[in-house]
Each structure stands twice: as C-alpha cells, then as structure tokens.
Structure 1
Amino acid sequence: MTTEHMPGLASETIGIWVAAGSRDESRETAGSTHFLEHMLFKGTPTKDAKTIAAAFDRTGGDSNAITAKELTCYYSRCLVTDLSDITALLVDMVSNSNLDAEEFERERGVIIEELAMSADDPGDVLFDDFDELIFGDHPLARPVGATKNQIRVLGHHTLLEHHSTTYVPPRLVIAAAGGATHDEVLGMVEDALAQAGVGSEVGSHPWDISSATAGAGHGRGAREVPTFQSGRSHTVKDTEQLGILLGCEGLEEGHPDRFVYSVLLTMLGGGMSSRLFQSVREDRGLAYAVNCVASQFTDFGTFGIYAGCTPENGQAVVDLALAEWDRLATETPTRSELDAIVSQLSGSMVLGLESSAARMNRLARSEIFGISLESPLDLIERVRSVTAEQVSTMAGDLMSRPKSLSLVGPQADVALP
C-alpha cells in the first residue's frame, strides 16, 4: 500500500490497482481483463449491483474503473468522511465478487455494445489500427476490450480463472492520496479486509499493506518484448475527415531520458505554441487538430504524430509534420524556445499534482513500474536540466527509426515519403 497526505483537502482518491492488463491475455482469454472489470460492479454476497451503484453515487464523488494494456484499476474520489465506507466497498468488490454466470451472459451483450460504439469512433479505430500495424502478432496489438467475436465466445470459466489467478497479491496495489493520513488509510484498509472476510490474506496470498515496495515486479511474470513493425494501413470509413497517425518506436515507461522526451513531445506537438500546431494549423490552415502522442509500457514505447484533416490535405499534412520533425533534429532549438517549453511543462506538472487523483495515479504507477517518486520541485529541476542539444539529438534518433502510418477515413492517396 502506498499513500500521500495532502493537508487541507477534504477529499481522498483511493484505488485498488492490478498489475495486469490485456497484454497479459492469450488469444483464448482475450477480453477477460476488461470483462472482469465490468463484472466486479455486479454484486458480492452482501451487496447487489444496485446497492454498489447507490453507495458510490451517495458520496457525490467520482467512481469508476479502467482497463489498460498493463494495468487495471478500481477507484473512487470521495470525502474523507466517506473514505472508510468506500474503501470497504472497493475491497469487497475486488475480493468477493459473485461473478455470477447469468450476470456474465447479460454483461456480454453490454460489452459487445461498448465495442460497437468504439468501432463507430474513428479516433478509437485509428489508434487500434496503429497498434495492430506496429505490434503484429504481439499481445500489445490487440484492443484492450478484444473483438466482438472474441467476447461472443469467451467462457465464464475463463473469467473465474482470471480472477482467481490474477486478483491476488503481489499483483494488487492499494494507492491513496488526499486529506487522510497514511495511518488513517491503513486502518481503514485493515478494517475493510476484515469486513470482507479476508483479513490480511486472500487465499494463501497475504496482502502486504504495511509499506510500498517499488519495483517488486508484482507477480507479472515474463513478458515478450515487442518489435516495431513498419508499414501502412488504411481503414476506409465514410467520414468528413481523414485521421492520420504516423510514428516510430519511442521510449518505455521510466526511461532515463524521459524528461528530454517530455520536452521534445511538448515542443513539437504539445500545445497551441508547438511547432506542429503553428506550422500545420496556424500558418497553413491544413488541419484543426495536430499533436504528438506517446504510449509507454514497461519495456517498450511508441512516438507518434496525430492529425485530422480533409482527405485532399492528407499528404501535405504528413509531409509538413515530417519536415517539422526533421527541422527539430537538424536545427538546435533556441534558448528562448526551450525556456518557454520548460515553463509550460513545469506549470502543468505542478497544477496536475494539485489533483488527488493525479497523485494517486502517480503513486500506483511508481509502485507497479518501479519508478522512484520525486517531489514536484525535483521534477521541475529535472525538466530544467534538459538542454536544447539533447532535444535535437533525440529528435534525430527518433527520425532515423523505421516508421508506420495509419489512416482512417475516406479513400486518399497518402503515404510516407
């Protein structure tokens, strides 16, 4: 368990994290991680689905769950005065979910509808297509929620096995940030475990809630490291705009050069003053949205440039984006431009860490990925230590790597040069 006290706050964000995601599934079990996320809200021996929903709504806060490719999280932001009840509810859901077979069949239809909604969103399709293109046969290529056909055949027994083998320590991490002290949260968690009938154990696996153990691995087991696949894909859709995503291999989570990476992403495509925004949108009027994107995993990362434009502007946008990327690699940024980006990043870091949810997220990811926690002042100093030469060198390194291009939208003659 890992917590952070934020004096003066009347609220707390608490989450139970599982160090497993869709990446850890096989072809046969694809979709079970996301399906299980849904099922944990469907009832325990002492609470039905409506009671769980009402208990979360009563606090007036924010409660939800997320499934990602390497993580799953169940969280709630509530008043400190409601934290004991919410903690007990989350622990009960994670450790005592009914996982009823009839509820499983009903929820199957809900998830298929969710996937259909995602398939209607060109942006979701674009990013899924890009992952499928660059990761090939690797598990990271699959959508987090799997496909409709995979959900149709997913067995109830697969869900039960996934829960029994995955939702156990050391994969489980409890993280909290807000107005409660560490000792207060620890007491609430101990009480919640007792109320849930698991005490300090789930099966034969003890919950280690006494302290954080960053970098412990959390029982993930060995993972196959992916290899970036270059290429081009185009999903033709009847839309007004053409979605464009071009990119290459980037940096993994916790990479030593991550602060240089952050400066590069922001300078090239991280805001209204970024090079891509100014060049593609302001100077040429070729697109409304254009920005840099990055995905980071334990052992791999991707760097990309996203844009949405009319089909006839597609090639010009790609060419201009590559030109700006190359200019950053070949021409060292000025001191004034670097100072402006450092100021932007420093401000966004400090403002972001005023959120208890952001701090809870940071604590959990630090614990799971084994990244040392740094104070806001230390983070700012790390950003300030980045040099213009480092940014230019990294841009050149990324530019030299194999690239891929994904398109979603009307037919268009767009390619990487």
Structure 2
Amino acid sequence: MRTVLPSGMRVVTERLPGVRSAAVGLWVGVGSRDEWPDEEGAAHFLEHLLFKRTPTRTAQSVAVEMDAVGGELNAFTTKEYTCFYAHVLDEDAALAIDVVADVALRGECAAADVDLEREVVLEEIAMREDDPEDLAGDLLVEAVLGGHPLARPVIGSDGSIESMTADRIRGFHRGRYRPESMVLAVAGNITHDEVVRHARAATGADAAASAAPAPVRSGRAAAADSGRLVVHPHDGEQVHLAIGIPTFGRSEGELRWPLAVLNHAVGGGLSSRLFQEIRESRGLAYSVYSSIETYADAGVFSVYAGCRPDNLAAVADQVRRILESIGRDGLGEDECARSRGALRGGMVLGLEDSGARMNRLGAGELARGYHVPLSESLDRIAAVTREDVRAVAAELLRRPRSAVVVGPFEDEAELPAELFAAVGRARPSPRR
C-alpha cells in the first residue's frame, strides 16, 4: 500500500503475516551523481555522519536501543540513492521507524564528528585499494561513462574527503534531503495504517522543513564515443580484468528483461558461457562472471575475471570469442529458456525475507514512483523471446568496449595482444 504524507514523503508497505519481523528503510533519492564536482563523496560522508548524533540521541544510545531489541541498524549509499534501514521484531517497528527518521532527518553533522569520521572514510577508501576486484569495477564504470556524474566513485577520493568541511556537509544535508525525495518502506508483520501513524509521529515538522533546490539530474546520454583502456598497477598474485560496454538506462525499460536474460547466459550462472568456457573447460580463472548496472539514464554491462598474469591473454581471447559469437548468432533457445527459469526462480527465492521485500519496495518507489507486482515481473521475464535477446545483443555488442586491468603491469605496452583484440583497439608499439 502507498500513502503520501502532507510533507511529500511517501510511505509504502507490504504486509507479511507469516513472519515475526519488520524491515524498515528510509530511502532518499540522493546519491553520488547528485554532488557537484567539488563535493565528491559528500553523500556517502553524510550517511556516516548522520549516525553520530541527533538532538536527542548519540551514536552510543542508538546502538544501545537497537541492541536491547536484537535489531540491526545500518545504511548504504549508491550512485542514485541513500538508504537508512533497520531490521527488528514486528513489535519494535515503531522504534525502528523513529530511529531511522531521527538519524536521517535530524543528524547534526557536528564539526568534531566530521573530523573524526573523516578518518574512517579515508580508511574505507584505503580498503578499496586493497580489494582489486572492487577497484576494477569502480574504474570500469568511470572508463565506460567518461565525464558523466555517474562515473564518480561513491566513496569520493582522498583529496575530496580531506577538504570536506562541516558547513559543506550540513549544506548538502539541508539542500538534498527533501521530503518529496524520501520514501519510507516497511515490509513485515505490520499494517499500513500503523506504519503511517508511526511515520507521522517520527517525521513531524522536520520532514516538512524547506530546503534549497537539489541539482537536476541531466538525463543526457552517458555512453562514451570510443572505448578506453585503463591500467592500474597493483602488486598481487592475480590480474583483475574488467571489460565494459555502455548499455541502457531505466528510461528504456522495455529492454530490461531481454538484457537480463542475455546477461545470465553470458556470465550470470554456473551454466553460463563464461563460466563453462573459462573456468570449467580451461581452468583459466576461479572467479569469472558478467553483470549489469542500470541507472536512470545509462548503464554498464561488464565482464570480470581474476586470473594469473600468464593466463590473461587466454582469458581475454575467450571473452572476445564469446561476445563475438553472441553478437553474431544470439543465444540458443535452450540458453534462453534456462536463463528465463534461473531469473524467475532467483527473483522469487530472493524475496523470501522481509529485508529483501523492503528493498524492492523502496528502490522501486524511488526509481519508478510505483510498485511493480512480483507476478508482473515474472510474466515479463517469461515473455522474453530468443529474437528479443538477439536484438539486444546485436545492439549492445557493437558498442565501444572499455577495459580495466588491475595487476602487475605498468602500462599498455606490457599487455598481451589478445586483450587489445577483445576491446577492439590497436596494440601500441613495444617500448624500445
């Protein structure tokens, strides 16, 4: 069910009488793409700070309240939204709503807390450097989307975080956290009316407070005119290869389902071509898969493989062969059927707890402004034909490819020719 409060905040719920829990999420339609270039990382930094203190709570008192009821409280920031969430017993839903609203709406961003949490965020940035798989993924989005705001890392950079001030963070909070951009999503053993009642009490006048207009999302095309190749030197036993192609945004929603079927067949499961050819048949990599990141006006289809450096040429060659084959011939009917079944089964099984249901409610309301019933999504997947997938593959796989290599290489000249062939680039002349 759905209710819009007088402030403009939306409340969406799903009753699950067969559980004893409630998952509560306050979703804010603000992410890293909504930052100005000189405030890179502000959305994520703010998410950290809001937990430190409110007018009536400290970080410790929040922790004590949630521990006392066995609850979970956390938050995350993405490129397009931020979510503050709690998972509690159904009888403690009112407490969870009050806490997440207090944190998100009334967190104070005190100067002392900014200086303290700055060090925590800098440690988080350092952790990313120590996780080459995640690093390769971030660098790939930047390579594929170029100068688009979506290309900026959610976490920011050392320089942007070190220069962030308390006034800048508070201004970001006041200017971006507008009630009309917020969704309170609750799933579990609750009723809609009681959630609305608790939401009114928890948000109060704060949710209706005025705020400066947020930047308008441009909606311009994000695809690069040509692919890029990025080499990021990193000591380690493996090389991490990520190849990406610009794909469709949510505005082209009709293409979502055949793209999902295509992705699963390429590298989304154990029967996928990437897994079977690169790992099972040749033993070239332990981890190999494909994935899709979809945003309002752009997206990225990517392939990842982690392998020993002396296997990089063979892995890149197999990726090229697989993508070229699918771009030319599409998928077999058996592959399409298998992928449709896997997607439908995974969607249903993935929604068997209240937290997953809440995530689907909140993210869907922010993205589309309405809830898509599970049955409709399942029907849309089942309706995808081999020709639908062939058309999407033909369009997608003719687009420019970008690649990121994180591993023991200093520059492009050290990379194998097979990698350049995989992304359609000429190999540079060897260094003299």
Q: TM-score, normalised by structure 1?
A: 0.92
Q: CA deviation at 1:220?
A: 6.1
In structure 1, distance between residues paired with 2:147 and 2:327 = 32
Alpha-carbon contact 1:326-1:396 (below 8 Å) kept: no
Which runs of no fewer than 5 residues in structure 1 stay unpaired?
A: 206-217
Question: What corresponds to 1:209 in structure 2?
Answer: none
In structure 2, distance between residues paired with 1:90 and 1:253 = 28
Alpha-carbon contact 1:95-1:202 (below 8 Å) kept: no
Q: CA deviation at 1:183?
A: 1.0
Query: What does 1:224-303 align with in structure 2 at a 5 Å threshold?
Result: 225=220, 226-228=222-224, 229-253=226-250, 255-303=253-301
Letter of the structure 2 residue corresponding to residue 41 of structure 1: F
Alpha-carbon contact 1:281-1:287 (below 8 Å) kept: yes
Alpha-carbon contact 1:171-1:219 (below 8 Å) kept: no
Question: What corresponds to 2:325 in structure 1?
Answer: 327
Give the 3 Å change call, closer, same or farther, for CA 172–219 of structure 1 in structure 2: farther
In structure 2, distance between residues paired with 1:101 and 1:222 = 30
Give the 3 Å change call, closer, same or farther, for CA 204–17 of structure 1 in structure 2: same
Q: CA deviation at 1:14?
A: 0.9
Question: What corresponds to 1:378 in structure 2?
Answer: 376
Alpha-carbon contact 1:171-1:220 (below 8 Å) kept: no
SS at structure 2 position matched to 1:336? helix
In structure 2, distance between residues paired with 1:81 and 1:320 = 54
In structure 2, distance between residues paired with 1:151 and 1:177 = 35
SS at structure 2 position matched to 1:154? coil
The structure with the greater share of residues assigned to helix is 2
Matching residue within 297, 307, 311 for 1:309: 307
What is the CA deviation profile of residues 101-123 of structure 1, one whole-angstrom value per residue up to 9, with x for unaligned ones?
11111111111111111111111
Question: What corresponds to 2:189 in structure 1?
Answer: 179
In structure 2, distance between residues paired with 1:19 and 1:169 = 10
Letter of the structure 2 residue corresponding to residue 77 of structure 1: H
Alpha-carbon contact 1:405-1:416 (below 8 Å) kept: no
In structure 2, distance between residues paired with 1:223 and 1:51 = 41
Question: What corresponds to 2:415 in structure 1?
Answer: 413
| 1:2 and 2:12 are equivalent in the alignment | yes
The number of equivalent residue pairs is 401
In structure 2, distance between residues paired with 1:22 and 1:181 = 34
SS at structure 2 position matched to 1:160? helix
Question: What corresponds to 2:58 in structure 1?
Answer: 48
| 1:113 and 2:123 are equivalent in the alignment | yes
Alpha-carbon contact 1:67-1:73 (below 8 Å) kept: yes
SS at structure 1 position matched to 2:406? strand
Q: CA deviation at 1:332?
A: 4.3
Query: What does 1:364-403 align with in structure 2 at a 5 Å threshold?
Result: 364-370=362-368, 372-403=370-401
Alpha-carbon contact 2:27-2:184 (below 8 Å) kept: yes
Which runs of no fewer than 5 residues in structure 2 stay unpaired?
A: 1-10, 422-432
| 1:134 and 2:134 are equivalent in the alignment | no
Matching residue within 95, 98, 101 for 2:105: 95
What is the CA deviation profile of residues 223-274 of structure 1, one whole-angstrom value per residue up to 9, with x for unaligned ones?
2522325110111111111101102111213621111111111111111111
SS at structure 1 position matched to 2:179? coil
Letter of the structure 2 residue corresponding to residue 221 of structure 1: V
Matching residue within 199, 209, 222 for 1:203: 209
Q: Identity over the aligned pairs, expressed in percent?
A: 36
Alpha-carbon contact 2:243-2:402 (below 8 Å) kept: yes
In structure 2, distance between residues paired with 1:132 and 1:304 = 12
What is the CA deviation profile of residues 66-119 of structure 1, one whole-angstrom value per residue up to 9, with x for unaligned ones?
011111110011111111111111111122212111111111111111111111
Question: What corresponds to 1:12 in structure 2?
Answer: 22
SS at structure 2 position matched to 1:70? coil
The Cα RMSD (Å) is: 1.8
In structure 2, distance between residues paired with 1:62 and 1:269 = 33
What is the CA deviation profile of residues 112-144 of structure 1, one whole-angstrom value per residue up to 9, with x for unaligned ones?
111111111111221121122223333222211
Alpha-carbon contact 1:247-1:304 (below 8 Å) kept: yes
Alpha-carbon contact 1:365-1:371 (below 8 Å) kept: no
Alpha-carbon contact 2:24-2:97 (below 8 Å) kept: yes
SS at structure 1 position matched to 2:37? coil
What is the CA deviation profile of residues 381-400 of structure 1, one whole-angstrom value per residue up to 9, with x for unaligned ones?
21111111221222221111
Q: TM-score, normalised by structure 2?
A: 0.89
In structure 2, distance between residues paired with 1:79 and 1:220 = 38
In structure 2, distance between residues paired with 1:113 and 1:17 = 26
What is the CA deviation profile of residues 155-188 of structure 1, one whole-angstrom value per residue up to 9, with x for unaligned ones?
1111010011111221111111111111121111
In structure 2, distance between residues paired with 1:311 and 1:335 = 36
Question: What corresponds to 1:208 in structure 2?
Answer: none
